Amino acid sequence: MEFTALFLAITVTMLVAWRGPLPLALSLFALVLIACVATFVHHTTDALTLSF
């Protein structure tokens, strides 16, 4: 679900960058970048329960 939201946010950001004003596009890019990094950190800090 979170990856779908990130994909949609990236899509909206690309559309705004294509047609919208530059400050809005840069702001959306910064927000999407922060969200992507937060998702990455969330998944990399999960403990793996491996049993061999």
CB 23 within 8 A of CB 35: no
pLDDT at 49: 84
**Residue 9, burial from CB neighbour count under 10 angstroms (0-12, 13-18, 19+):** middle
**Which residues 6+ apart lie within 8 Å of 12 measured at CB?**
28
**Residue 41, burial from CB neighbour count under 10 angstroms (0-12, 13-18, 19+):** exposed
pLDDT at 50: 82
What confidence tens digit (pLDDT) does each residue in 1-52 have?
899 999 999 999 999 999 999 999 999 999 999 999 999 999 898 888 888 8
Give the chain's largest Cα–Cα span. 54
pLDDT at 22: 95
pTM of the model: 0.81
pLDDT at 39: 94
